[in-house]
Structures are given as structure tokens and as C-alpha cells.
Homo-oligomer: A and B are copies of this chain.
């Protein structure tokens, strides 16, 4: 059996069922005008022939592929695995397919988008990747909505959904301040991503409002990964004249986990006894026993829903929503890596 075997088409099914090809088409199209009896006849014939409608051919006429493209950077951060899973589940529930594209963290997504455009996807979701204005307009010109997930490009025509990273950073700063931390180390993520920058900014602004001196806040680069944060931490604390901070903010949970392991297992520094720590994201991995991270929860499901709402795949004739910047509040999750301040339950 070679791969060029002739496939059964709606005409074959029509012949067996004794109806026209259009009747077959209608039998598989919900809401179209067909008698239930005829429909059953067609479905029975289709079953006997192992017929499956050809979505490729169908989308040629409908101009709808029912495919949504999901472009992912940084899969090394489990947060985006959970995001992918959430999108996948949700879209599958609605009978849509997910075309996955992985790009290196921080890389241009132009190639990915061009590939994806070839497939006439109904929408594009972009996480942790750059987006040029040329690609934005290419998508919009051909009527394909594109939504940035947890990314923000100022002045861009592309809409986006993100956690309120700045406010989240402030929440964590407040927690640290309440616990009495006076000096800080921030382990930052990918410098090309606004996510990290916004969190750091909110965090620092609040610290300074709280009376912390700028010279008591240091930043090091953690490369958005466990391993990057792990070794950055060891490097920092191994410097000869280092001033040990009282608190560390890992700009995402996976980095905070790397920091914590470096501190406790390599440097002999206990969390939170000797040093407080917080992350951001609230990934399930950070809830586990060894970490029990204090963090800010990004409400993935809500963010996914908002993203799909902006795509509004069900209403293809509605104009594309441009330049929307939906910010969703994160919630402080108080666990073990910041001691509960005295006087607060």
C-alpha cells in the first residue's frame, strides 16, 4: 500500500448513500438544511467507507481553516508549558486545531509567522517572542488576528493580554517590606521581554517608596531559566566583597527555584531563615515541598479566555481588535519563602 492510494471523497459517499455530493457536505455541516433521515443515510455510508471530510479542501472555499497558531518561545520555563496546555485544551474543546511553532527565546518570530500565514490560520497567539510591525500588518491585512500573550509592544497594532506585571512586582515588594527586608537582589529574566522589565520596575518603585535606598538594590541576569539563575546566584555570592542581601526577587518562579537551590544546597544559606525569596507566576512546580514559593499568581485560565475573546474566532466577520492591551491583576500567594510579618495572622 503506497501513500498515493486514492482517497474516498464526498462523491463516493454520495453514490453509496444515493444522494448528491452537496447532501453529503450538508450532512457534515451543523445547522445546514437537511432532513434527519437523509443525514443518517449519509453518515452510515460515510462510516462504511471510512470517509472523513477533508478540512483542507473545505477551508479552500470557506477561507476558514479552524487552525490557530501558537508560537512559543522559552519552553524551558514550565509556565509556558502550562499556557500551551491550557490553550490546547480550550481550543480542542471548540473543535479547533493548534499549530505549534517553537522559536528560540528572544529570537525574531517573523519566520514563524510567515510559515503560519501559509496555512491560512484563523488566528495567531504569540508568547515570549518579538514581533515586527511588518508581520503585524501582514496578519491584519489578510484578516488574521494576532494576540500577544504576556508580551507588550508599545505602540503596536497587535493586541495583547498580560498579567499586570508592574502591579505584581509591587505586591512582592510590599511583602518584603512588611517582612522587614532592607537590602535586595533581583534576578532578572530575558532583557528583551517587557515581562521581566515591568516586574522589576514595579518592584523597585515600591521598594523606593518604602524607603529602600537604590544602592541597596542589586540586579543580576538569570536568563529566565533554572540553570541560569542557579549559576548566577552562585557567581554573585562567590564574589570576594559581596554584600549579602536580605531578600531576593526571582523574576519568575523557575528562576526563584534555581536561586533557592543554589542558596540552600551550594551556599549554605537557608530560606527564609537567612534570606527571603519570592518568585512570580505560581507554577505548580513552585508549590512543591522543596520550594513552597511565595509568589504572584498569573491567572492562566482567565488570561487564556481573554486571549480567545480578543481573537473572537467565532465571529470572523467582526473587525479585528487592534491595539488592545488587556492587563489582568495577579494575586499574591503567600507561602514559606517570606516569613509572615509579626502582627499579621
Contacts and interface: CB of A to CB of B under 8 A. Distances in A.
A88 B102 contact: yes
Interface string A100-144: 111000000000001111111000000000000000001011111
Chain A: interface residue count, which band?
Answer: 35 or more
Interface string A1-30: 111110100000000000000000000000
This chain: how many copies in the complex? 2
A288 B317 contact: no
B3 A316 contact: yes
B52 A117 contact: yes
A270 interface: no
A309 interface: no
A99 to B, nearest CB: 6
Contacts of A63: 4, 7
Nearest to A70: B100
Given A57-B60, A84-B100, A97-B116, 9 more contacts: A1-B140, A4-B63, A7-B143, A50-B141, A55-B120, A60-B60, A67-B119, A70-B100, A97-B119
Interface of A: 1-5, 7, 50, 52-57, 59-60, 63, 65, 67, 70, 75, 78, 81, 84-85, 88-89, 92, 95, 97-102, 114-120, 138, 140-145, 226, 230, 261-262, 265-266, 288-290, 316-320
A96 B308 CA distance: 26
Contact of A54 (B7, B53, B118, B230): B118
A232 to B, nearest CB: 14
B143 A5 contact: yes
Contact of A60 (B5, B56, B316): B56
B142 A56 contact: no
Given A57-B60, A75-B85, A92-B101, A289 B266 contact: yes
A144 B5 CA distance: 10
B261 A290 contact: yes
A320 B3 CA distance: 7
12 contacts: A2-B320, A3-B144, A4-B317, A5-B143, A50-B142, A75-B81, A84-B100, A98-B99, A98-B100, A261-B289, A262-B289, A266-B289
Contacts of A143: 1-5, 7
Nearest to A54: B120
Which of A50, A55, A100, A266 gathers most chain B CB within 10 Å? A100
Which of A142, A262, A265 gathers most chain B CB within 10 Å? A142
Contacts of A67: 99, 119
Contact of A265 (B140, B289, B317): B289
A156 to B, nearest CB: 16
